[in-house]
Structure 1
């Protein structure tokens, strides 16, 4: 009953006119920011932090506004992924795999509706988890050491071959390319410049957002130009302007499964929404292997990663509030805001400032409902984007890409890097190599290396530390089991194909 009374008090804080207006503004602004390729939740929250100070907001009101922007960005990231095959942010990469094929098949409204419902389910699941289990889950997360995180990333890369329907060896090759790109920059242990060609611009490595926009947006334009030259480009059928209720529910149980996996990934400091979306997609693909057509427009291939990345975003608030440890880049920015307001997140925050914590949690419930109500009517507007002639749409894609990348660092060097990644993406697509593993290698590679370095530093270079933790051994066992099942299923499928041919 204490928790229920605290939540009721939180709703009393959240529904004050000022906080309610800030929550709705955050939802709307976050959706628009998330829909723009390149910005994403980190930049969206960082851009609007000065607004919180200039308005002289109370800490609770400022945190409510920025958290709703965070949730809104996670909703909005799916829009350009589905409509243009350009991920709005890193976690939305997985949504392109089945969202864009659905849009190209004339089912854009259905894809947008499925993703909106999945985002609502994932974010609501995370908010309920935040309400019920925040202190308990945060205590469990601190038992993950560097060796355990390394094992987690090994598991992620071991299952990467199942992302697409192309040759698994090409998929693994793409992942290794991504890992190689991730090593560019300063060595995390010695500070030595690696593969920078003497350019100080590369000391921090390649910005994942720049790589994403280049690999997806610019390469998409180049592929379009080739299709036009060969006379292969066809008009995309528009389909329904607004989806039916049964279309919205097509994600089914994938919404819940993705929510659980994403929430667990979100709780782990540093894992983030990208890993949540990736693991949710892989797990759903394995679960629905018999009757799924993943990569060709399967609704569950949209629902699982969208639920996963939104659940991970909510889960990332748990270590920030209860331990003072940011669970993602966005929560790191929010943590900096709290500290600047003389608020110290940690185990005592729930006792010392209950109005702030429970007001935030109550506002997130309101934000989830508001985002769903906002996004469903906007589906018809976004669907009409496909009615634009391609000769208008593609220059618009290029313009948005250049503006989005330039707004991050105001560096012309990043624009050249984006174009370079675009050309590389075009070449890889012509070779039948998936771009998604490249990005995942780039995104997860740095964290994987950092945790390996930390583990070896703790053990003075003894590799046995990687296998000394029960958590790490459990993850390795799961990885071996998944790989064994994958090889067994592949062997059976090959034998069945030979029997049918014979």
Structure 2
């Protein structure tokens, strides 16, 4: 094993390989900062370039794109309020308000360092716990998957904003949008109402870009009021310095949040099909619940940024657990990575660690080096992105709008998706003006189909509905879901009561 480690270390630290990894990390960051350009798309585009490389080299390059991509969505989330990728939805909740309050440098620094710490923790867990965690993940059936998604849906209760009813309505609208188009199991059309544009369904990324990007851009075009317009005409202004040492101190002085979020991301990543979009939201939700001041979340709370970014970045290590130990890809990006390994004639499965330990070690080393590249390049790019904020919004808004349209069209090369984008953007803008939170809607679109698919698979396997409560893991997750909802409602009512008391005290 020592010889295999040394071979892997020599292969990955080769100067040419390091240069390729740096370029790949840069490409992953930039690609994910563009709304609509997903991490999977970036890795797919990288795959053909690795065919002529050595196996270690090719895998290192693709992992670098992966690691860079999970942190790249931070830039557009913090500076524009638009999630660059589905895995950065929760990042917008506090990073964007923090940037709008005059601290864009701090928002980006917190996100970058949290991503770095999350990646390192996930690598440590991957090395130590890959076999046992993979065996646990593979034992999960449709009952456990459904229970997990129900637990994830309870996040809606903590994202409702100022109105519980409006938040729940937004979540139901999202689940309703997810039911339009082909049936997830049988492929039959439903709820299309005779419109051909809806026969393929409403792609999630179209909803994400429309709800966040289009509604935000339309809001930016409104006449300035309440002093929100900066004198320079820029979208955001303020302290653009990164404050690196202060950022490191903020994270290290509250290690529980970043460690909890990272471990949660690893676990979610180890569950095939869950993905970083779920870990991003769940990590944020748990950080808010554990906070002594949950009312500060959504208003520029630093720990909200730390939780969301460490949660999604740690998913990389978790998703590699079933891939390395069992040959099961945990996400579409892992499936592409698996294809890259198989192209070189290497079989994926339980014997991968025994037959090709040098390749496995090279994956561990490449992830660690890519995390360092991500941090260094992120800090360098941060200065460039912050400089772009000085550009007036009448220039920025059309450029971002064009990027959104291009990203939407390239998803499926369908012109109809652009019409859907415009309609969903208008709906998102209207909901925003009516004070409906958009996060529960997006969460409903993400998790609705997964919950439906696994519920139907469970009943196709067995019609005994008591299995949801008699299987230990499923019962535990459903119990946690019930407790989560009760606690969220209690916290919401307590917060409203305190606000009412403060108003009464002020009026007196």
TM-score by length of 1: 0.93
Aligned twin of 2:46 = 48
Aligned residues, how many?
Answer: 496
Select which of 432, 437, 447 maps to 1:434: 437
Instruction: Give CA-to-partner distance per residue, 1:255-314, whole Å, 9 cap, x none.
Output: 222111111111111111011111100000001143651111001111101000001122
Partners of 2:362 and 2:500 in 1: how far apart? 62
Q: 1:330 to 1:42 in 2, by over 3 A?
A: same
Aligned twin of 2:245 = 245
Partners of 1:72 and 1:290 in 2: how far apart? 32
Q: How does 1:50-69 map to 2 (within 5 A)?
A: 50-53=48-51, 56-69=52-65
Give SS of 1:463's match.
coil
Partners of 2:489 and 2:81 in 1: how far apart? 31
Partners of 1:305 and 1:68 in 2: how far apart? 20
Aligned twin of 1:127 = 123
Select which of 306, 309, 331 maps to 1:306: 309
1:77 aligns with 2:73: yes
Stretches of structure 1 that go unaligned for 5 or more consecutive residues are none
Partners of 2:152 and 2:452 in 1: how far apart? 14
Aligned twin of 1:407 = 410
Q: CA deviation at 1:399?
A: 1.4
Aligned twin of 1:32 = 30
Partners of 1:189 and 1:409 in 2: how far apart? 20
Partners of 1:338 and 1:200 in 2: how far apart? 40
Checking the alignment, whether the CA contact within 8 Å between 2:43 and 2:62 is kept in structure 1 is yes
Q: 1:309 to 1:144 in 2, by over 3 A?
A: same
Q: 1:337 to 1:206 in 2, by over 3 A?
A: farther
Aligned twin of 1:374 = 377
Checking the alignment, whether the CA contact within 8 Å between 1:164 and 1:295 is kept in structure 2 is no
Partners of 2:442 and 2:433 in 1: how far apart? 17
Checking the alignment, whether the CA contact within 8 Å between 2:262 and 2:311 is kept in structure 1 is yes
**Comparing 82-91 and 207-216, the one that deviates more:** 207-216
Q: How does 1:97-176 map to 2 (within 5 A)?
A: 97-176=93-172
Partners of 1:444 and 1:494 in 2: how far apart? 28
Checking the alignment, whether the CA contact within 8 Å between 2:160 and 2:440 is kept in structure 1 is no
Q: How does 1:386-397 map to 2 (within 5 A)?
A: 386-397=389-400
Partners of 2:334 and 2:201 in 1: how far apart? 22
Cα-Cα RMSD: 2.1
Partners of 2:367 and 2:496 in 1: how far apart? 49
Checking the alignment, whether the CA contact within 8 Å between 1:241 and 1:379 is kept in structure 2 is no
Q: 1:339 to 1:203 in 2, by over 3 A?
A: farther
Aligned twin of 2:486 = 484
Partners of 2:494 and 2:228 in 1: how far apart? 38
Partners of 1:324 and 1:21 in 2: how far apart? 29
Aligned twin of 1:182 = 178
Aligned twin of 1:277 = 280
Stretches of structure 2 that go unaligned for 5 or more consecutive residues are 231-235
Give SS of 2:419's match.
helix
Aligned twin of 1:265 = 268
Give SS of 2:177's match.
helix
TM-score by length of 2: 0.92
Aligned twin of 1:218 = 214
Q: 1:204 to 1:121 in 2, by over 3 A?
A: farther
Q: CA deviation at 1:233?
A: 4.7
Partners of 1:376 and 1:232 in 2: how far apart? 30
**Comparing 82-91 and 486-495, the one that deviates more:** 486-495
Aligned twin of 1:358 = 361
Give SS of 1:271's match.
coil
Q: CA deviation at 1:498?
A: 6.9
